[in-house]
Structure 1
Amino acid sequence: MAQQNSDRLTAVDAGFLHQEGPAAHMHIGGLTVFEGPPPPFEEILDQVRCRLHLLPRYRQRLARPPLQSGNPVWIDDPAFNLEYHVRRTALPAPGKRAQLREATAQIFSQRLDRSKPLWELWIVEGIETDRWALISKTHHALIDGISGIDIATALLDVTPEGMDVPHPDAAWQPRPVPTPAEMLATGIVGAARAGVLGATKALEAFARPRAAAGRVREIGEGVGEMAWELMNPAPDTPLNVPIGPHRRYRAVEGRLETFRRIKDHFGGTVNDVVLAVVTSALRDWLQSRGARTEGLELRALVPVSVRSTDERGQLGNRLTAMRGPLPVYIDDPVQRMEVIRRAMRGLKESKQALGAETIANVQNFAPPTVLAQASRLNFSTRLFNVLVTNVPGPQIPLYLRGRKMERAFPVAFLPKDHALAIAILSYDGAINFGLIGDHDALPDLKFIADGIASAIDELDDLARAGVGGATPARVRTAAP
């Protein structure tokens, strides 16, 4: 019997599909710049072709089971065409950074075709100073930012010489497209499997009642904290307006050692420093728009990976989220850093992430129509004003066909009625920000990017001068 060709999406993955619309594109990716002239296009195609077996999902497309019997499934694309997904373009002369940013924004302004595998890879030539770029674009239903592997990372090597990747002896052949009856059975089996898993967990809880009671109490606290978030919505701001399909893109470059120096001086984590500089930039931007910031605290959606060690490298999303504060009402950068540090420590000690994960797991039992409504709540402006996601990357140089990857910038997505998303990626000693904004709502996106750069310099100057540092005792005893 032939192996069945279907794999059902989880509730989280399907939620990203439900939230996509003509203006809200749920794809993510990155812009990477390489040194030297670009390799011949055919060489890059060959490299992708030789490593695509490492990413079987990248040859699969979506299919919907009949009768709304479950979430969509992934099936092999019988018409898969590599040349459709790997594309080549060039900047007009002189090929400056502004033109590269504009090309990135244009690529991310276009939705992915749902009838094909949900990814694209763009080779960009014609960049000044003898450089070329790679722009990757993948639907969030396919991969999260921390799963550790996507089409771009699969192509990269840790040495200029590259490495030999074992390849199957037989050429890839798509499995037969499942019939409607087979997809219907997949939905039923998936629901039954989820029920068996729930029953198994219940039996385990019955065998260890004390531990189960503690777990139930924690889950209840977490769900309660999520309910409190819904009853206390994020404030209305110029960031939360109807958006269109077109995008703007800006990048900010920083050094990881700078962020470590700041967090070592003030206490907290690198991510706390990230939220502090974003808060500073948004405070200045709001005031430039004539908005009042007294008593105003924005909320950032901060994705948190719940991917276990043995799940590294798997596709799909293993994400939950916390709502971090952005206290734009605070003028003093030292006080702002302290408030964020304490708040984020309190969130980590709270059960908010556990509550969000529990709700996501429950959604796996929900029918698609209910799931669609629940996913709208997940990305509602009631919960957050801006997405801020920080992804740790490799701290060694990477290469493609012998060319060193010099810089890497992430690209996030804009949910409905959210005009700004900020992604952060560390790579080889750098920590770079990628800001994507709605073209019409944020013509002043550069103002926010410049504000982030200025805030980094401000905190670094204060840290170097020894102003307002947190002693080890203060760091240990700070109350949430």
Structure 2
Amino acid sequence: MTSDLLAPLDLAFWNIESPQHPMHLGALGVFAAHSPTAGAHAVDLLAARAVTVPGLRMRIRDVWQPLAFPPAFGGAARQPVPDFDPLDHVRLHAPATDFHDVAGRLMQRPLGRGRPPWEAHVLPGEDGTDFAVLFKFHHALADGLRALTLAAGLMDPMDLPELRPRPAETPRGLLPDPRRLPGLVRGALADVGQALDIGASVARATWDVRPTPALTSRPTGTRRTAGVVIDLDDVHRVRKAAGGTVNDVLIALVAGALRRWLEERGDSSDGVAPRALIPVSRRRPRTAHPQGNRLSGYLIRLPVDDPDPLTRLGAVRTAMDRNKDAGPSRGAGAVALLADHVPPLGHRLGGSLVGQAARLLFDILVTSVPLPSLGMKLGSCPLTQVFPFAPLARGQALAVAVSTFRGAVHYGLIADGEAVPDLDVLARGLSEEAAELVEVSGS
């Protein structure tokens, strides 16, 4: 039985999890239904196809390999399950009037750690005209790009970018070629210098920071989700009129929505500039296999305290340009790269401490999840909307994920259910902010 050692960042995600702090990502897809039984038929399709997707058979098991190079004390590996039963992972629920209400309750449940850590929950619509599927994948099993590949394997055949085979490497756990040792030493020294640079940036980023109380929460284990759809053409019009990138506009919309949310709550936005972590993938889409999180990130301050939408957009653009000039391997936002410098046993022993440290580094996660521009179907039911959900860091109240799908931007909001009972207000604020930004930009 073959196994694949977890990469350092995957191992970190596996070890920082707790019942109050699940580390799975999710996506809620909404499908147009051709009959009231479409949801039940979707369960049959998903279960039958899950057997054919090798990545869905993988569970995560502890491994101890003292003779490996490097030694894997306290590590973990993905291993195929010989008696895989897809019906343990695909479930049909009662008809729902509000998909997000059910999705929030399902997202708060940790995935089982003794079996392949993924689930697909089918939610029939109460009126029979649509149904939804909530996919959950543990972040140690798959990042956003890999989760897309796994989920796409359960859909009807579609044209996805062909994955190029990865160049042959020395298998993990074997001694390297001695001829490569000088290069490995030079690389190790460079890695140490990079780690010190990132560590210094992290220290500066956490020094004299004013917390944003509305975005801070003790972990309750509860979850609430919401989704917002915005016309991509509107985003492009704003970008052309005000400059910057599509991503700059999408981040600025989050800043404006947070301002509206705070004001409706009766909280002051004066001086509020929460630190947003913007993950950056270090892996090319065409080399997305095999699995393994390869992430860095940018850290910016969201100009929530600025009352002018265009000025907010300009501030986001400036901050993102500065980050891009420095590159994704430097600065406090690249803290995920430090996982590569921690031995497996360190991840196991220090997982809880690392999880608690997230709120010291950033206040909110704003991440982009790539989706194919082509349409997808399950059976004969087309996918009409898809809302991504990011893992919620310990001590934080809110995370934002965004995807572009078939001419629309889909925001997926996930929050601590007790800390943010008014998540619908924030969702409405995103729509209102988009409309105002279109108006004031003259687009």
Q: Could you tell me the TM-score, scaled by structure 2's length? A: 0.85
Shift of 1:142: 0.8
1:42-98 deviation line (CA, Å, top 9, x unaligned): 6753555346444x231121211259813111222233211111111132xxx43xx
Where does residue 168 of structure 2 map in the other structure?
A: none
Where does residue 55 of structure 2 map in the other structure?
A: 57
Where does residue 29 of structure 1 map in the other structure?
A: 26
Where does residue 201 of structure 1 map in the other structure?
A: 183
Shift of 1:113: 0.7
Q: Could you tell me the TM-score, scaled by structure 1's length? A: 0.79
Q: Which has the larger radius of gyration?
A: 1
**After the TM superposition, which residues 224-239 of structure 1 pair with which residues of structure 2 at under 5 Å, given as runs?**
224-233=200-209, 235-239=211-215
**How many positions carry a matched residue from both structures?**
422
Where does residue 378 of structure 2 map in the other structure?
A: 400
Task: Assess, with a 3 A threshold, how the Cα gap between structure 1 residues 340 and 87 changes in structure 2: closer, same or farther.
Answer: same
Amino acid at match of 2:15: H
**After the TM superposition, which residues 293-332 of structure 1 pair with which residues of structure 2 at under 5 Å, given as runs?**
293-332=269-308
Task: Assess, with a 3 A threshold, how the Cα gap between structure 1 residues 281 and 60 changes in structure 2: closer, same or farther.
Answer: same
CA contact (8 A) 1:225 1:352 kept: no
Shift of 1:225: 2.6
Amino acid at match of 2:429: G
Q: Secondary structure at the match of 2:315?
A: helix
Shift of 1:437: 1.1
Using the alignment, how far apart are the partners of 1:46 and 1:434 within structure 2?
Answer: 25
Amino acid at match of 1:119: W
Equivalent of 1:426 in 404, 428, 433: 404
**After the TM superposition, which residues 36-51 of structure 1 pair with which residues of structure 2 at under 5 Å, given as runs?**
36-37=34-35, 38-39=37-38, 41=40, 44-46=43-45, 48-50=47-49
Amino acid at match of 2:21: A
CA contact (8 A) 1:62 1:74 kept: yes
Shift of 1:203: 5.9
Q: Secondary structure at the match of 2:145?
A: coil
Task: Assess, with a 3 A threshold, how the Cα gap between structure 1 residues 217 and 315 changes in structure 2: closer, same or farther.
Answer: closer
Percentage of matched positions with identical amino acids: 29
Where does residue 254 of structure 1 map in the other structure?
A: 230
Using the alignment, how far apart are the partners of 1:121 and 1:31 within structure 2?
Answer: 10
Equivalent of 1:376 in 341, 344, 355: 355
Shift of 1:389: 0.9
Shift of 1:440: 0.9
Task: Assess, with a 3 A threshold, how the Cα gap between structure 1 residues 22 and 205 changes in structure 2: closer, same or farther.
Answer: closer
CA contact (8 A) 1:240 1:419 kept: yes
Amino acid at match of 2:57: R
Where does residue 362 of structure 1 map in the other structure?
A: 341
CA contact (8 A) 1:300 1:323 kept: yes
Using the alignment, how far apart are the partners of 1:286 and 1:435 within structure 2?
Answer: 16
Shift of 1:360: 3.0
Using the alignment, how far apart are the partners of 1:123 and 1:337 within structure 2?
Answer: 38
Where does residue 81 of structure 1 map in the other structure?
A: 85
Shift of 1:388: 0.9
1:163-220 deviation line (CA, Å, top 9, x unaligned): 9xxxxxxxxxxxxxxxxxxxxxxxxx946668989945346769xxxxx98x987776
**More deviation, 399-408/346-355:** 346-355
Using the alignment, how far apart are the partners of 1:41 and 1:416 within structure 2?
Answer: 36
Shift of 1:392: 2.8
Shift of 1:6: 2.1
Where does residue 435 of structure 1 map in the other structure?
A: 413
Using the alignment, how far apart are the partners of 1:195 and 1:232 within structure 2?
Answer: 47
Where does residue 122 of structure 2 map in the other structure?
A: 123
Using the alignment, how far apart are the partners of 2:284 and 2:364 within structure 1?
Answer: 27
Task: Assess, with a 3 A threshold, how the Cα gap between structure 1 residues 370 and 129 changes in structure 2: closer, same or farther.
Answer: closer
CA contact (8 A) 2:60 2:116 kept: yes
CA contact (8 A) 2:217 2:396 kept: yes
Amino acid at match of 2:322: G
Where does residue 180 of structure 1 map in the other structure?
A: none
